[in-house]
Amino acid sequence: MTVPQHPGLSKIEINVDCGEAFGNWAAGPDEELMPMIDVANVACGGHAGSPVIMKRTIDLAKKFGVKVGARDLYQVGALKTFLDAAGMKLNHVKPHGMLYIMMQNDETMCDAAMRAIKHFDVPVYGLPSTLHETFAAKYNIPFIPEAFVDVNYSSNGVLLGVPGSRKMSTEEIHDVTKQLGKEGVLPSVDHKLIDVGVGKKPFTLCLHSDFATCRENIAAARKAVDAVNRELYA
């Protein structure tokens, strides 16, 4: 089955998880990161975020012209209500954390998640050439291919997440982003060049906002993405 592609993805974009604070507990520096990103994945109040934080984050995204998607499968409707009030659209839904990683290879989990996402009639962010893409196609959900450069993949192309990754320097993030954008490959955790399925076409690039070096990481990725977009998608 052919996966419907999101018609609005005409260049490489950067997405970052935002709105992860709760009460007096602070999270990533959203105010500093928002000018450097294209899309914010906003926490919907599962294990992070709250109504106050959701509204604050949406207002910040609107100020900087940043699109907003749901970072969780919890309370997506609540996020959409805030977006409607702000005159903004729900851009996408993206499962978060270990759920996202486990969905690469767990058919039951991936099927259940995609059935839930289908109700919102928006694209899903996911890992190409994995069950993410397979089950998006099953439910005819527009699929936006996603890749990561501040965490690693195994030599078999499986996303490892933070615990299994080596620390990526700012310089590495810049160079890996540029290589991925131009050639469609990047180095695995053990430095083997691998194809992560994005091909030589637009995709969305995720970076973490809760790393100590997130500002520098995202700035480095932004520089590389802008260079590739000018060369290939201007």
pLDDT digits (tens, 9 = 90+) for 168-191: 999 999 999 999 999 999 999 999
Q: What are residue 187's DSSP bridge partners?
A: 193
At residue 148, the 3 state secondary structure works out as strand
The residue with greater pLDDT, 155 or 24, is 155
Residue 224, both tokens: 């590389």
Q: What structural domains does the chain harbor?
A: 13-232 (3.20.20.370)
Residue 8, both tokens: 């609005």
Closest listed residue to residue 48, CA positions, set 21, 27, 15: 21
Whether the predicted pLDDT of 3 surpasses 60: no
Q: Within a 13 Å sphere around the CA of 115, how many CA atoms are in the beta-carbon half?
A: 6
The helix, strand and coil proportions of the chain, stated in percent and rounded to the nearest 5, come to 40, 20, 40
Residue 144, both tokens: 């936006």
Model confidence over 4-52: pLDDT tens digits?
445 568 999 999 999 877 666 667 789 999 999 999 999 886 656 678 8
Output the average pLDDT for the chain.
91
